[in-house]
């Protein structure tokens, strides 16, 4: 396995480098993102959270197909990194086996080939281009609204509990209450459902949310 750690020297960078090398990984470190691609399995971005959006965007372009993670800082930074498109955040202070096993698990998931497009009735979602259309109408979503939509589509009609939505979209931020999920789902529903259109996003009261085909619902009721 190959890892590229990008950022200034720090105790976290040094420990992560050592943990990976001890387990046979090839590890390189750079102070800044390179101008051209390099062969690597994992890219770790550390420090300089103020420039995180631009750095994540560039890392995605340069290292297409690689796992892109950030090095842990504050909980708020982790939430921001995930919202901006990082695959995860690594906490180098955790036990070494847990750090490495988590990276390997994330690599396995990424290599399964995530779906890049979804269709549900007249709703189409292009994940790569972050484009959402329903009945020919473009729908503009915030980053978190889009993440919730994709999460529900991935569930393929199953109910996604509030707790799972909180964990995925707010990255364990303990200050976020369940009503934040309800408010987000309400905003997403308003954007998806135009005048006279069947509802796609449904609530299972006290449990969570799901996306269901209106066509299937109509057949079931007949």
Residues 126 and 214 reside in one and the same domain: yes
Residues 159 and 210 reside in one and the same domain: yes
pLDDT of 55? 80
pLDDT of 221? 40
- Of 88, 111, 134, which closes a domain? 111
Residues 123 and 107 reside in one and the same domain: no
Distance of CA 83 to the CA centre of its chain: 7
Model confidence pTM above 0.75: no
* Mean pLDDT along residues 46-70: 78
Residues 104 and 128 reside in one and the same domain: no
Residues 33 and 121 reside in one and the same domain: no
Tell me the three state secondary structure of residue 74.
coil
Which CATH number does the domain housing residue 24 bear?
Answer: 3.40.50.2300
Residues 141 and 86 reside in one and the same domain: no
Residues 18 and 104 reside in one and the same domain: yes
CB atoms within 10 A of CB 30: 12
Residues 89 and 172 reside in one and the same domain: no
Give the domain extent around 128. 117-221
Phi-psi region of 130 (alpha: psi -120 to 50; beta: other; left: phi over 0): left
- Of 75, 95, 111, which closes a domain? 111
Residues 89 and 160 reside in one and the same domain: no
Mean confidence (pLDDT) of the chain:
82
Q: Are 90 and 78 in contact (CB under 8 A)?
A: no
Judged against a pLDDT cut of 80, whether residue 15 lies above it is answered with: yes
Judged against a pLDDT cut of 70, whether residue 206 lies above it is answered with: yes
Judged against a pLDDT cut of 60, whether residue 218 lies above it is answered with: no
Walk across the sheet containing 208-211 and list its strands.
160-161, 208-211, 201-204
Q: What is the pLDDT of residues 23-54, one digit of tens each?
A: 889 999 888 888 877 788 889 988 666 677 77
Which candidate, 144, 216, 152, 141, places its Cα nearest to that of 180?
144
* Mean pLDDT along residues 162-176: 74
Cα–Cα distance for residue pair 115/123, rounded to 1 Å:
15
pLDDT of 73? 60
Mention every residue, 6+ apart, whose C-beta is less than 8 A from residue 187. Answer: 142, 145
* Mean pLDDT along residues 48-71: 79
Residues 97 and 121 reside in one and the same domain: no
Which CATH number does the domain housing residue 180 bear?
Answer: 1.10.10.10
Q: What is the pLDDT of residues 91-122, one digit of tens each?
A: 878 888 888 888 887 887 676 655 678 888 89
Indicate the burial class of 84 (C-beta count within 10 angstroms; 0-12, 13-18, 19 or more). Answer: middle
Residues 51 and 95 reside in one and the same domain: yes
Walk across the sheet containing 123-126 and list its strands.
117-120, 123-126, 131-134, 137-139
- Of 53, 85, 111, which closes a domain? 111
Please, where are the H alpha helices in the chain?
Answer: 11-22, 52-62, 75-83, 96-111, 143-154, 162-169, 178-192, 214-221
């Amino acid at each position: 396995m190959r890892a590229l750690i990008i950022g200034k020297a720090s105790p976290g960078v040094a420990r992560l480098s050592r943990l990976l090398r001890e387990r046979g990984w090839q590890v390189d470190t750079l102070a800044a993102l390179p101008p051209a691609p390099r062969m690597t399995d994992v890219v770790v971005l550390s420090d300089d959270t103020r420039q995180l959006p631009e750095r994540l965007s560039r890392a995605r372009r340069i290292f297409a197909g690689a796992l892109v993670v950030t090095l842990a800082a504050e909980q708020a930074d982790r939430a921001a990194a995930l919202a901006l498109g990082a695959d995860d955040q690594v906490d180098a202070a955790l036990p070494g086996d847990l750090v490495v096993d988590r990276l390997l698990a994330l690599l396995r998931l990424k290599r399964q080939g995530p779906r890049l497009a979804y269709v549900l009735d007249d709703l189409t979602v292009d994940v790569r281009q972050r484009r959402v259309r329903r009945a020919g109408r473009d729908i503009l979503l915030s980053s978190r609204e889009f993440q919730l939509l994709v999460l529900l589509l991935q569930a393929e009609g199953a109910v996604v509990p509030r707790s799972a939505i909180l964990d995925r979209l707010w990255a364990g931020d303990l200050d976020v209450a369940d009503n934040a999920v309800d408010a987000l789902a309400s905003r997403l529903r308003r954007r998806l459902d135009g005048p006279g259109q069947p509802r796609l996003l449904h609530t299972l009261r006290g449990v969570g949310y799901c996306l269901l085909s209106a066509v299937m619902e109509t057949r079931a009721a007949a």
